[in-house]
Amino acid sequence: MRRALCALVLACALPAFAAPAAPGVVMRVDDQELFVNLGQRDGVRAGSRLALYRRVVLTHPLSGAEVEDRFPIGVVEVAEAGELLSIVRSFGQLRRPPAPGDYVDRDGPAPPPVVVAAVPGAPPPEPDLAALHATLLASMGHEPGVQAEALKAWRRAFPQSDRAAAVDVAIAELEAQAAAPPATSPRGPDDGPLLVRHQPVAVVEEGRPLELSVAVVQAEEVDEVHLLVRPGRSADLDRAPRTWQTVAMSRAGDHYWRAAMPPDLLARPGEVEYVLEAIRMDGRAEVVAGDLLRPLRIAVKPMALTTREAGPSHAEFFFRYVDFNVSEGGGDRYYQTEARFRYGVRFGFLHAVEVGVGLLNGEGGRVKFLDDGGEPRAISLGYAFGGLELAVAPALGLGARLSGGNSRPGAGKEGTSVLGAQGYLRIGEDDGTHLIVGAGADDTLGSRYFAELHIDAFDRVPLRAGAEATSLPVDADYGVRLSGAVGYRVADWATLLVETGWNARTINHYGFTGGAGVALDWE
């Protein structure tokens, strides 16, 4: 339709009168912002609607006259209005990309009339041509149906005009456009803003990787999410270019997008500014975190000076009660109290060393013997131990420990020395989620084969889950002990632990575990 009208205008060029100048123009177009030279002085405010028109100037091939016309691009809404300029941030819904020089009218009035520059000495126009020109001036900027009716009226007035064929083509295209359904999009420009959840990052240590994430509730209405980032106004970056860099965020699940901050912006102390922008399915851009004029800021702090001489230290104190026979008669249980200290050496292959002391009191015997009414054998053991762990790989450790103590079988009986050993394999980072599997044995007490999973996936709430086959406390029949522990970090250096579990040697010989402890961590 526009091509037909343009051709019709070229064919109907006339000497013309001057038209009023457009009230505003597009001054600059960036990826995220559009600037126009209308501001508060012109009555424009945030929320004002502006109509954009594409200016087209062509030279008539026969008469040499210049023909200017304007074609609607669409309507945009002002995000911020200054005294002389206004900023538009959502313009993805326009029919064609805006460009500097496009005309801007407030509230979308009809564009100024066509302007045709006269050629000196040109003959006066013919009556049908003058009438057609007047028709075009009167209908320009109206709906396609209105323009078609105006051209039909001219067609009836000049049925023999040489320009009738061109007018018929224009009428047909205008009627086709008027009959077509209006274009629709999943969401219109008047819909409400997207609902998002984003936790801003305020401080990061220089050289550390940083990943940002954002959750968009209306995920089905979003095509892409972008991270816009640039250096901040810090003393050592004032002379560096501060252009916005766009990083496409990757979808992570149904509602989340993630992106890593460019490492070069975190390589030295200073400041980083960032904004999060969502692109709707209809192409409209919407800022969802921060603002290009008021971006979110991250302070990049110098790396803390630390030495491996003061490695991570861990101390743990716990009490545990284990009962394998809660039925009448009992006689298969033990109490254990232990304190241990672990120091992260992390020197070469040597990853950590540990020492500790403990006390174990209990009684037990073979299941059949106890069930037949036999007297359980008592044990009381005080012990000390020491061990070390080797770093086989960054997430793999191999540890061993030796223990020794004095055991008293019962009151009035002579004590004996007890030696023990234990070995284990750690799979996973020592200060994160990891699995420990191993085995140990002690003279007279018995042996145990164990697996223990340490889960560090929840902030301030560490978890443990364990399973072991053991013949403790008096090296009798093997039983199974399943346990779980929940901790709570009351401070960065202190964690309280509560343990519970279920134990069994046979279907009728079973009991429960209960315990509590505290763990301390420091550098």
Model pLDDT for residues 290-333, shown as the tens digit of each residue? 887 788 989 888 876 443 343 589 999 999 999 998 876 678 99
**Which 8-state DSSP code applies to residue 462?**
-
Same fold, 2-179 and 196-301: no
pLDDT surpassing 60 at residue 111: no
User: 348, exposed or middle or buried, with CB in 10 Å at 0-12, 13-18, 19+?
Assistant: exposed
Looking at residue 1, its pLDDT comes to 46
Distance CA 76, CA 480 (A): 71
Domain 196-301: give its CATH code: 2.60.40.10
In tens, the pLDDT along 131-158 reads: 887 777 666 656 777 788 888 888 888 8
Burial annotation 325-343 (CB, 10 A radius, 16+ → b, else e): beeeeebbbbbbebebebe
Looking at residue 198, its pLDDT comes to 87
Looking at residue 109, its pLDDT comes to 41
Give the 3-state secondary structure of residue 366. coil
Considering all CA atoms of the chain, what is the largest pairwise distance in Å, rounded to the nearest integer?
Answer: 137
Q: What CATH superfamily is the domain 313-522?
A: Autotransporter beta-domain (2.40.128.130)
Confidence of residue 383 (pLDDT cuts 50, 70, 90): very high
Q: What CATH superfamily is the domain 2-179?
A: FlgT, C-terminal domain (2.40.10.410)
**Which 8-state DSSP code applies to residue 193?**
P
| Nearest alpha-carbon partner for 325 in 357, 296, 365 | 365
Amino acid at 203: V
Residue 47 is encoded by which pair of tokens? Answer: 């929320």
Distance CA 236, CA 30 (A): 27
| Residue 378 Cα to chain centre, angstroms | 59
Confidence of residue 483 (pLDDT cuts 50, 70, 90): very high
Confidence of residue 413 (pLDDT cuts 50, 70, 90): low
pLDDT surpassing 80 at residue 399: yes
pLDDT surpassing 90 at residue 402: yes
What mean pLDDT is predicted for residues 34-61?
A: 84
Residue 199 and residue 248 in contact, taking contact as beta carbons nearer than 8 Å:
no
Looking at residue 241, its pLDDT comes to 59
Distance CA 140, CA 170 (A): 13
CA atoms within 13 A on the CB side of 171: 17
Distance CA 213, CA 259 (A): 7
Residue 397 and residue 351 in contact, taking contact as beta carbons nearer than 8 Å:
yes
Beta bridge partners of 74: 52
Residue 228 and residue 292 in contact, taking contact as beta carbons nearer than 8 Å:
yes
What mean pLDDT is predicted for residues 236-263?
A: 78
Average pLDDT, the chain: 81
Query: What are the extents of the domains in the chain?
Result: 2-179, 196-301, 313-522
Residue 383 and residue 358 in contact, taking contact as beta carbons nearer than 8 Å:
yes
Confidence of residue 234 (pLDDT cuts 50, 70, 90): low
What mean pLDDT is predicted for residues 473-484?
A: 92
Burial annotation 185-216 (CB, 10 A radius, 16+ → b, else e): eebebeeeebebebeebeebeeeeebebbbbb
Highest mean pLDDT among 162-166, 250-254, 444-448: 444-448
Task: Pick 507 or 20 by higher pLDDT.
Answer: 507
Looking at residue 464, its pLDDT comes to 93
Those residues with Cβ within 8 angstroms of residue 404's Cβ, 6 or more apart along the chain or in another chain? 383, 384, 385, 417, 418, 419, 420
Looking at residue 110, its pLDDT comes to 41
Residue 322 is encoded by which pair of tokens? Answer: 């284990």
Cis before 473 (ω within 30): yes
189-193, 259-263, 283-287, 498-502: range with lowest mean pLDDT: 189-193
Distance CA 316, CA 485 (A): 14
Residue 466 and residue 456 in contact, taking contact as beta carbons nearer than 8 Å:
no
Residue 236 is encoded by which pair of tokens? Answer: 């050592």
Looking at residue 120, its pLDDT comes to 53
For the chain, percent of residues with pLDDT exceeding 70:
83
pLDDT surpassing 70 at residue 172: yes
